[in-house]
Amino acid sequence: MPSASDLDQPVSLWQAVGIAFAVGIRPCTGGILVLLFSSALGLYWAGVAATFVMALGTAITVSIIASLAVKSRDLALKYSGHNALWLDRTAFGLKLMGGLFIACVGGLLFWATATNTTPLI
């Protein structure tokens, strides 16, 4: 594990590429299922192509989310004037709202499942 002082140093481009490669090399269960079913159907190369397209879509999505996170942090630092108290309160409020949102969605899903009145066929 790196020490706290190691994390204060800037990350080079090759270190960032190495980190991205290490994270991305893990097998994707969805990709494995696509390859398995395409192989069973005799469409192996179609499964390989579908897996590459899935990987490209994941890369684009994660890149956009990471870019938004970095830009949002920079924007928050700009508007806060590096006021630590304001940043702490804002972070707490956002975490609280996110947790409440997830709890509400879970509660609504539970309620919809518990009160299911659709007739049996």
Residue 50: how many other CB atoms lie within 10 Å: 17
* pLDDT score at 41: 94
Nearest to 66 by CA among 58, 56, 77: 58
| Tokens, residue 66 | 């990471």
Q: What is the pLDDT of residue 7?
A: 66
What residues make up the domain containing 99?
A: 83-116
Residue 16 CA to residue 22 CA, distance in Å, equals 10
Distance between CA atoms of residues 51 and 34, nearest Å: 7
Query: Length of the chain in residues, anyone?
Result: 121
pLDDT in the model for residue 118? 57
Predicted local distance difference test score (pLDDT) of residue 36: 94
Amino acid letter, 16: A
Residues 33 and 23 in one domain: yes
Q: How far is CA 80 from the centre of its chain?
A: 26
Q: Estimate to the nearest angstrom the gap between the alpha carbon of 21 and the chain centroid.
A: 16
44/30 same-domain check? yes
Q: How far apart are CA 102 and CA 108, in angstroms?
A: 10
Residues of the chain with pLDDT under 50: none
Residues 30 and 47 placed together within one structural domain of the fold: yes
Write down the pLDDT at residue 42. Answer: 94
pLDDT at position 119: 53
Q: Structural domain tally of the chain?
A: 2
Output the six-digit token pair for 77.
């630092």
